[in-house]
Chain A
Amino acid sequence: MNPFRNISFLQDRLAHVWAFLVATTVASWWLGGGAHRVLDSGLTQDRFATTSLIIIIAIIKMRFVIWHFMEVKECPRWLRWTCDAWLLSVAIIVLGLYVFA
């Protein structure tokens, strides 16, 4: 039996979320791929905008996984807020330490 019967890739919301997550994975892989960060000397260069964007993309991806795959969008308010507080904390801690430490 076809395991994908009754599932329309074009209409299924979970499939849309997956497509978005794969697209953002490819985008961040391209951003952090390294080639454009390597100097002639062979040393790598830390680019503020690239690094910050990679972290922000990761946070957005995690929000989509939590919201749609873990079904938190349908969960009680305390769980929605706890998850968003966690995401915000990770963003502030990682970006904050990257910028100010």
Chain B
Amino acid sequence: MSHSSITYDTDTGFTEPNPTASGSAPVRPNTRLPGQAAMWFFVLGDLWIFTCYFACYAFDRAREPMAFLQGQHTLNQDMGAFNTILLLSSSLLVAWCLKAARKQEYTQARQLLMMGGASGVCFLLIKAVEWYIKIDAGLPEISGQFFIYYFMFTGLHFLHVSLGLAILTLAYLELKKATSGNLAFVESGAVYWHMVDLLWIIIFALLYLM
């Protein structure tokens, strides 16, 4: 299979082979990596590390399903679901931010990024309220292996969201001076932020719903 020429999409920045055009330009792939390769290695590594934690959780839950379900039953599923929708919306806003930045609409991109970050802050506040309610209830309600996992998963995720917010702040500053069209850092920040969303989807399913 050979493609004779490449079209460049100024909207997305993707190069795509154009099979209908004629000529003998060299063959190039129709793919690209958004952001820096280092960020992708970090994200993939982080996901695999979390997979080990998920395996431990699933193993322990299988040994004591009733105890885990009892613990899960005391969690507030409504708050968890609302937080999931909050992070999904935040991801959408950050994806739109990148789209706007690629069209060189930097003011719009900054507005969308700001809204995405604000949703992330709301997520952390709700999580903090949830922890407060749980810790306030005290023992024996938050005893047992399930709650060790609950605080470990949500705590680690909280740290990831906090780091994500710091990265989004740097991306915001980058967008302020973005005139050259080099969006590698903003793209990397977006990739990290979507990973935070990704982890929450599975943590929500495992801890709150499974």
Instruction: State the A residues within 8 Å of B (CB).
Output: 1, 3, 5-7, 14-15, 17-18, 21-22, 25-26, 28-29, 31-34, 37-38, 43-46, 51, 54-55, 57-58, 61-62, 65-66, 68-71, 74-77, 79, 82-83, 86, 89-90, 93-94, 97-98, 100-101
A37 to B103, CA, bound (A): 50
A25 to B12, CA, bound (A): 28
Contact residues in B for A68 (Cβ distance below 8 Å):
95
Interface residue? B59 (CB, 8 A): yes
Contact residues in B for A21 (Cβ distance below 8 Å):
88
Are B198 and A65 touching (Cβ within 8 A)? yes
A10 to B199, CA, bound (A): 28
Are A101 and B63 touching (Cβ within 8 A)? yes
Are A44 and B111 touching (Cβ within 8 A)? no
Our pick among A5, A22, A44, A76 for the contact of B73 (Cβ within 8 Å) is A44
Contact residues in B for A5 (Cβ distance below 8 Å):
108
8 A Cβ contacts from B96-149 to A: 96, 99-100, 103, 105, 107-108, 111-112, 115
For chain B, the count of residues having a C-beta within 8 Å of the partner chain is: 61
Are B91 and A69 touching (Cβ within 8 A)? yes
**From A37, A45, A57, A101, residue with most partner B Cβ within 10 Å:** A101
Our pick among A44, A61, A75, A100 for the contact of B69 (Cβ within 8 Å) is A44
Residue of B nearest to A83 (CB): B44
8 A Cβ contacts from B39-79 to A: 40, 44, 47-48, 51, 54-55, 58-59, 61-63, 65-66, 69-70, 72-73, 77-78
Our pick among B47, B72, B80, B205 for the contact of A55 (Cβ within 8 Å) is B205
Query: Could you give 5 example pairs across A and B, Cβ below 8 Å?
Result: A6-B100, A6-B105, A7-B96, A29-B78, A69-B197
A70 to B44, CA, bound (A): 12
Are A61 and B108 touching (Cβ within 8 A)? no
Interchain nearest-CB distance for A48 vs B (Å): 11
Interface residue? B17 (CB, 8 A): no
Q: Interface segment, B29-37, B155-163, B167-175, B176-184?
A: B29-37
Our pick among A46, A69, A94, A101 for the contact of B95 (Cβ within 8 Å) is A69
Interface residue? B202 (CB, 8 A): yes
